[in-house]
Amino acid sequence: KTAQHLIKDYIDSNAVLQTDKSTTFSDLSNCIDVHVREISGTKEGNFNLKWVHIAISNLKKHLQTYHMISERMMQNYLDEFCYKLNRRYFGQKLFDRLIIASIYPYWYDCG
């Protein structure tokens, strides 16, 4: 019921949701239009869900570096992880991208 509540609140009802065959996601027909369920142990499931499992594992490792995380600050830690995950291939260009991202709204507003 918690998963259904979260999916109703945070995922668009027109989205396609791909999950494993966990009992947590057994009845989501009233939350979303298309729900694709795969067994994780099959060849297709291992291929499609591999990077999801790697990302979750990395998130758990990332959160273990901090002690006594409060619920109030949890979103900040998750945002930091997403920021790092989305920019992991920038390498040496990270600083340049940060400068462009910071001046772009100003540049756009000024014409």
Predicted confidence (pLDDT) per residue in 52-104, tens digit: 778 888 888 888 888 788 888 888 888 888 888 887 777 778 788 778 877 87
Quote the pLDDT of residue 110: 54
The answer as to whether 75 is a domain residue is yes
Q: Per residue in 28-60, pLDDT tens?
A: 777 777 877 777 666 655 566 677 778 888 888
Q: Any idea what DSSP says for residue 33?
A: S
Same domain, 97 and 60: yes
Quote the pLDDT of residue 6: 81
pTM of the model: 0.48
> 3-state SS of 34-101?
EEEEECCCCHHHHHHHHHHHHHHHHHHHHHHCCCCCCCCCHHHHHHHHHHHHHCCCCHHHHHHHHHHH
Quote the pLDDT of residue 45: 53
- Amino acid letter, residue 87: R
Report in angstroms the alpha-carbon separations of 23 from 4, 20, 39, 56.
12, 9, 11, 19
CA 103 – CA 105 distance, rounded (Å): 6
Q: Nearest 5°: CA angle at 19, between 79 and 77?
A: 15
The answer as to whether 84 is a domain residue is yes
The total domain count for the chain is 2
The answer as to whether 42 is a domain residue is no
The answer as to whether 97 is a domain residue is yes
The answer as to whether 19 is a domain residue is yes
Same domain, 59 and 99: yes
Domain boundaries, position 94 = 52-103
The answer as to whether 32 is a domain residue is yes
Q: Which residue has the higher pLDDT, 47 or 11?
A: 11
Same domain, 99 and 59: yes
Could you tell me the pLDDT band of residue 105, with boundaries at 50, 70 and 90?
A: low
Q: Residue 42 is encoded by which pair of tokens?
A: 């099959």
Same domain, 97 and 70: yes
The answer as to whether 26 is a domain residue is yes
Quote the pLDDT of residue 87: 78
